[in-house]
Amino acid sequence: MLTYQAFYQNELHKLLMQEIDRIKENLASGLSTPDFLAYKHQVGLIDGLKAAVRLMEEADSIANRTERG
């Protein structure tokens, strides 16, 4: 059974990845990017969400090392 923290982290990761996929689909359809500035904004959102996922994974790694070491 997952602890609340592990469950929360897992669900947050899934939501972040779903949002990244949603934005990618919008970019692929071309409907959400009428001009280059809108495209650039959408790509920036994807980069920001990916950075959040990386930081979340790094924090988890640090927490695991602290607990065990």
Is residue 68 included in any domain, yes or no? yes
pTM over 0.95? The answer is no
Q: Which residues constitute the domain of residue 55? A: 34-69
Distance CA 21, CA 19 (A): 5
Radius of gyration, alpha carbons of the chain: 16
Average pLDDT of the residues of the chain:
91
In a domain, 29, yes or no: no
Q: Would you state the torsion angle of the CA atoms of residues 23, 29, 35, 36, taken in this order, to the nearest 10 degrees? A: 60
Query: Does 15 or 3 have the greater pLDDT score?
Result: 15
8 falls within a domain: no
Task: Say how many domains are in the chain.
Answer: 1
State the pLDDT at residue 69. Answer: 59
pLDDT-derived band at 25 (thresholds 50, 70, 90) equals: very high
